[in-house]
């Protein structure tokens, strides 16, 4: 399934932002353009990062350096939660097999 892509102008219009804000996010490496694509084209994941950064900067008054840290930590937390869920499922499967060894493949 192809991921939605947005131009810098589209994101600025949709979120009510100045393009300079998006460029500042690029400078802080909070978002990057699509690799190998046209300059100023962003993935839907980058769009969500920009939306989060907008909230952090304009509503919560976090500076860009702090925003970069928060965005990265939030993504790391989501990744760890996914890994924990996978490990939990593996442990449940192992426990099920230990309880009923005849039912294993």
Whether 64 and 25 have beta carbons less than 8 Å apart is answered as yes
Whether the model clears a pTM of 0.95, i.e. scores above it, the answer is no
Q: What is the pLDDT of residues 73-89, one digit of tens each?
A: 999 999 999 999 999 99
More confident residue, 24 or 104: 24
Predicted pLDDT of residue 63: 97
| Inter-axis angle of helices 8-15 and 44-54, nearest 10 | 40
Q: How many beta carbons lie within 10 A of that of residue 5, not counting itself?
A: 15
Residue 7: what are its φ and ψ, rounded to 5°?
Answer: -85, 160
Domain ranges of the chain: 5-100
Q: Which fold has domain 5-100?
A: Multidrug-efflux Transporter Regulator; Chain: A; Domain 2 (1.10.1660)
Q: Over the stretch 28-64, which tens digit does the pLDDT of each residue have?
A: 999 998 876 667 899 999 999 999 999 999 999 999 9
Q: How far is residue 18's CA from residue 28's CA, in Å, rounded to a whole number? A: 16
Question: Taking the CA atoms of the chain, what radius of gyration do you get in angstroms?
Answer: 20
Q: Binning pLDDT at 50, 70 and 90, where does residue 92 land?
A: very high
């Amino acid at each position: 399934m192809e991921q939605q892509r947005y131009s810098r102008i589209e994101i600025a219009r949709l979120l009510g932002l100045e393009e300079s804000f998006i460029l500042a996010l690029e400078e802080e490496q909070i978002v990057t353009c699509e690799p190998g694509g046209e300059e100023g084209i962003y993935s839907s994941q980058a769009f969500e990062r920009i939306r989060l950064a907008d909230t952090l900067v304009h509503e919560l008054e976090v500076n860009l350096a702090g925003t970069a840290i928060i965005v990265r930590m939030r993504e790391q937390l989501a990744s760890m939660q996914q890994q924990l869920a996978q490990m939990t499922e593996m442990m449940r499967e192992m426990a099920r097999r230990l309880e009923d060894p005849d039912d294993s493949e």
